[in-house]
Structure 1
Amino acid sequence: MTENSQRSVTIERTSTGHFTATNARGGTISFGTASDSRGGTEFTPVELLLAAIGGCTAVDVDVATSRHTEPTEFSVAVTGNKISDEHGNRLTDLEVTFSVAFADVEGADRARAILPRAVKTSHDRLCTVSRTVEIGTPVTATVEGA
């Protein structure tokens, strides 16, 4: 069986500064600019990147730990500093911090024990998003028909 390795989304402008991304399965997420005078709450593209970094590892960690017991708390904080320098606008000092707790039930000790390893394995090997950011992958931007 061959696996299709290509991943894609399409992005459509819905109004000035507002967009909707659609994946191949039909799921959508709206996003926009933080400078919207209407006080919108949509995520910005930078916030989506932070969510993708944390979300990718969160999925891996959840799969590894919840097979032993359900967490009573599971949150991930992702932060970074936006700077502008000779390389242009970018984020630095990216940090992903997990806050996970398990009740004292069967499987909890095992889940607690594997939590640090699950986070490390996801970060070092499994999470496509953070691996791509850390390794650095060229991005090509083109205009169709140009």
Structure 2
Amino acid sequence: FTEIVKSQGKKPSSELISYQRLHPNEFEIKNLGVLPQSHVIRMERVRFADDIPVAYEIASIPEKIIRGFKESEITEHFFKTLTDNGYEIGKSQQTISASLANSSLAKHLKVKTGDALLSLTQISFLQDGQAFEYVRSYYVGDRFEFYLENN
């Protein structure tokens, strides 16, 4: 998100809505390959471009990967924190679909309930194939543009 927004000549920023240590839900168990009795850190935040809300993001990270990191290292520059600590980031898998804003998303994104959103689900992996992040994001379509390139 940060790199895409910067490439568009805009200033990226985030507002942290919640940061919790929880047992994983069924989607986190499936997509992160964690055990039901383990813990994940689940954070929710609004992402901005030039102070305009563009996306609402729910990110889940296995606690075992980030144990010992400060909350700010996770919420402000997660990928940099990982690479600075010797983790090698590998591939990611993304699914994009259409959805509608519920009342909570509408409030955070400053749109109307029922407005169209782009939903993106992403699973990010380390080089060794271990999933380290499961993210569900909701983008305001007329405020954000995806550019995909395949090499």
What is the TM-score normalised by the length of structure 2? 0.25
Instruction: Look at both structures and tell me which one has the larger radius of gyration over its CA atoms.
Output: 1
- Which structure is higher in strand share? 2
When the two structures are superposed, what TM-score results if normalisation uses the length of structure 1?
A: 0.26
